[in-house]
Structure 1
């Protein structure tokens, strides 16, 4: 899908609001014509007909009313257009998040997190100017100058002709500038995405960079990325300033020509056509309309940069939306009986690695603790992702017969959001009440260290569990599993790098979860977990095999 088609598709969803915003702009333009006519008429009456100001109270009051109404229509137009733009941005963000969810961790593995964040923020924000300013102004820049030309034509067709002859120069130059501006904006967004990802990676790996003495090199990399973004931004600004200067030049020349014509016509130096019939009213009326004729075109030229920016963003957003989502070979049904999980003749592949694991058969039933063993890199995590529905098998079928569509996950290191301990535990079930969360915290041993904190479970922890040890973070994740209603719990190396006490808590917690009738499926090479497993599988030479002996 081309960027123009993509933008047009989004326009259809808010066409009514954009038309209303354009209508307000056109009404404001008609008020400008009325304002110029009233001013010219009042000046003509006072100077040429020597009327007293007191006798012109009603026309003056009408002029005052017109002046007051103009900002009213400006405000209405801005509010309506901004609301339409916000609707588009909300729709696009919702679709992008849906696409990211559909792609899953494996589909997004090749994308930089900072780049993805840039798409959801900067590139979506770049659409605002196109819908809030450029599209309504397109209608205004077409109808208002036309109305002004018609009004000028009623007074002097030569002056109106000057305006008509100069008008096409502005859209022509805008089109020429837009060809290069679109490419420059696309390059700028790409540079911003790379810089965002680079900076995020440096922040995440700051401890490692410091220990290996790579801070100066990382700093130079960020400086180089910033310089690249600055240079690309300056290229965009150069095009914008150059186009504005040229457009102002054409508009100024055209206004000057009209002013010279009216001046010489009023002085009697021009006798061709209607020039000899010019009056103070008609001449002043045309002179007041001349700048207003070019104002909508000038504004459109300013907002034309918004169009180029939106086209550059739309190209990248359309590419992300067009990424293929693998068709799932897994089925999930709501089971009224005990939950079961089966996989038959499954092959799993990862991008750039080909087939990494073959699963002839795997079965797990309610209350079972199933252990999947294998060396690092053998495909244990890949299998868990497939069983969770986040990686689609190349062949075969996975069937999840569960009473609840939710699936529990406990990995190492455990994921913790920048929130309180209570909120992190509540991620397992957003509807859980405080007593359920507190009970889960006690069962997982979170209360043992939370009670020593000033705010208890309301203590805020940083992103990725900053402020907690690895064992404490794992206990919080275990509490999340306790509070979750999920009947299938997947665990990826749940005891990795844990002390003996925390490992005991985790193993005991797994037994309690299994006792509740849940399926517990563990991927680990920790031999201590063999003692609690009712069913064991091992990965050998890329094939999952059932272990039938102790």
Structure 2
């Protein structure tokens, strides 16, 4: 999270740039209401002509049928345009929101787990869900309304000028007053919307954090106090939301007041002119011309009325943009995702192994304490290496850096290519990482294993489970691999969780395997069996294991140890044990 303020102009420009990304859909959504406005002019003129011919010329129904049909057709066409414009606007808005959410998610994932661990998960989820949703009103309603308000009143006034210059001047002088007073009300609406968006983010983050720690709160008897605090925060959010609505209603009331004055002024002028009490024209005002002016008077203010109804959407969107920037530190731009490249049928298979090398490697902990300093390591393709060291010495940190999950200084090469230059998709395809606390989701054991390859069939899942020795405990259960487990592996032991996570990797085809304590919580016999399956799978692949277990280290090709921030070659446990036995003999 950042407290760096983003200027109002920057937020407005960013939102406008997003809207332009809709392309042709945005153009259509803006053009169709303008076309409807042009048809409205024709509709009002023909309708006024029908009434004029009926009242003044005494035309019969037969003579008026063509004109009446024209009016009906124009009304139907305008209704169809309104529906089509609404559909296009909504679809364009939904498309923009979906693309923006993907871009925000990519931004969050690109920051890595170190950055996300420092953020409130509730506040981040609010930025990706609620704040993006707050942009919907701007995309779907405000932008079309703003274009109509900027074009149609002026166009109507220009059309009215040759018919009656007094009515045209009334349109031109009264219409601009509405946006001026709306802007005055809008400043307050934007401030209230910003406060409401921040309050929503705080409440969401607080609720998510309390939900995550509900067991701890229950054990310490704090559940009642936290429930009261959540209620008070919710009440505060409700009050802030009502303030936003109050200001929105105020802006609408201002518009209605001036629109009513404008319509009343036109009606008063036309009525007094017909009564010959006012004579500002050089020629007589016909009934058709007077009716046309009266019919168009409310329509001149309708686009402004529509903009006022959606003016708070603009304030909400700018407040949402500010909150997104506050959570992510910046406002990301939409990018065009590259099209997936088809792989030729006769394309050569990728190598099963990958070399890894590091030079001048320096890694710091989240509190800026250096864990690894100017270290170097070379792992040939296909080699199996172990890294030993005390708890907290930096083994997990080192593996996370190699998986590009933690920032580092220095050089890390995969097959001679800088780690930063490897595309994200290829990196995740070719490098498999298993941490000490793998995430298990609520579902069946098979579903959790299938996260390694979503389209794996039951036979493949079964083979992976057997290799990881998952079936050693699931076969004793009534439903086997279809047994349900709870969130975070509820119902499984620590060793069972590790084996389940290993089975995920066995569904993949990585060239480099990074494992952090893969046999933790296992007894010696199960550990040996799991290692058999692991080494069978890792044959021909590059394997780097961080472990405390000498049994694991003994089965690796080479052993390193982290000490004093450096990575040092260490005696191989198996060879050391052999020398010790010979000396004893």
Query: Normalized against structure 2, the TM-score is what?
Result: 0.83
- Residue in structure 2 matched with residue 305 of structure 1 by the alignment: 312
The 1:23–1:460 alpha-carbon spacing in structure 2 relative to 1, beyond 3 Å, is farther
- Residue in structure 2 matched with residue 518 of structure 1 by the alignment: 541
Partner SS state of residue 17, structure 2 = helix
Q: Is the 8 A contact 1:366 1:519 kept in 2?
A: yes
Q: Across the two proteins, how many residue pairs are aligned to each other?
A: 539
Which of the numbers 400, 404, 413 marks the counterpart of 1:385? 400
Name the CA distance, whole Å, in 2 between partners of 1:50 and 1:448. Answer: 98
The 1:414–1:43 alpha-carbon spacing in structure 2 relative to 1, beyond 3 Å, is same
Which of the numbers 347, 357, 363 marks the counterpart of 2:372? 357
Is 2:502 the partner of 1:478?
yes
Is 2:279 the partner of 1:271?
yes
The 1:472–1:349 alpha-carbon spacing in structure 2 relative to 1, beyond 3 Å, is same
Q: Deviations over 1:23-58 (max 9, x none)?
A: 210111122222222332222222333332233111
Q: Is the 8 A contact 1:6 1:318 kept in 2?
A: no
Cα drift, residue 203 of structure 1: 2.2
Cα drift, residue 386 of structure 1: 0.3
- Residue in structure 2 matched with residue 428 of structure 1 by the alignment: 452
Q: Is the 8 A contact 1:359 1:544 kept in 2?
A: no
Cα drift, residue 440 of structure 1: 0.5
Cα drift, residue 456 of structure 1: 4.5
* 1:317-356 paired onto structure 2 within 5 Å: 317-318=324-325, 320=328, 322=330, 336=351, 338-356=353-371
Cα drift, residue 455 of structure 1: 5.5
Q: Is the 8 A contact 1:343 1:399 kept in 2?
A: no
* 1:148-227 paired onto structure 2 within 5 Å: 148-227=156-235
Cα drift, residue 505 of structure 1: 5.0
Name the CA distance, whole Å, in 1 between partners of 2:139 and 2:146. Answer: 11
Name the CA distance, whole Å, in 2 between partners of 1:254 and 1:228. Answer: 40
Cα drift, residue 527 of structure 1: 5.5
Cα drift, residue 380 of structure 1: 2.4
Q: Is the 8 A contact 1:96 1:321 kept in 2?
A: no
Name the CA distance, whole Å, in 1 between partners of 2:519 and 2:230. Answer: 37
Is 2:460 the partner of 1:442?
no
Is 2:568 the partner of 1:545?
yes
Partner SS state of residue 310, structure 2 = helix
Q: Is the 8 A contact 1:408 1:489 kept in 2?
A: yes
* 1:234-253 paired onto structure 2 within 5 Å: 234-253=242-261
Which of the numbers 69, 85, 106 marks the counterpart of 1:77? 85
Structure 1: 5+ residue stretches without partners: 325-333
Q: Deviations over 1:451-506 (max 9, x none)?
A: 56665444554443345444433222111121121122222333445567765554
Which of the numbers 513, 538, 549 marks the counterpart of 1:489? 513
- Residue in structure 2 matched with residue 329 of structure 1 by the alignment: none
Superposition CA RMSD, Å: 3.0
The 1:39–1:496 alpha-carbon spacing in structure 2 relative to 1, beyond 3 Å, is same
Q: Deviations over 1:97-142 (max 9, x none)?
A: 2222321112323222222212221222222222222222222222
Name the CA distance, whole Å, in 1 between partners of 2:112 and 2:195. Answer: 27
Further displaced range: 525-534 or 143-152: 525-534
Name the CA distance, whole Å, in 2 between partners of 1:502 and 1:170. Answer: 78
Cα drift, residue 347 of structure 1: 0.6
Further displaced range: 276-285 or 78-87: 276-285
Name the CA distance, whole Å, in 2 between partners of 1:189 and 1:56. Answer: 57
Name the CA distance, whole Å, in 2 between partners of 1:436 and 1:74. Answer: 54
Name the CA distance, whole Å, in 2 between partners of 1:55 and 1:179. Answer: 55
* 1:86-105 paired onto structure 2 within 5 Å: 86-105=94-113
- Residue in structure 1 matched with residue 299 of structure 2 by the alignment: 292
The 1:92–1:323 alpha-carbon spacing in structure 2 relative to 1, beyond 3 Å, is closer
The 1:24–1:107 alpha-carbon spacing in structure 2 relative to 1, beyond 3 Å, is same
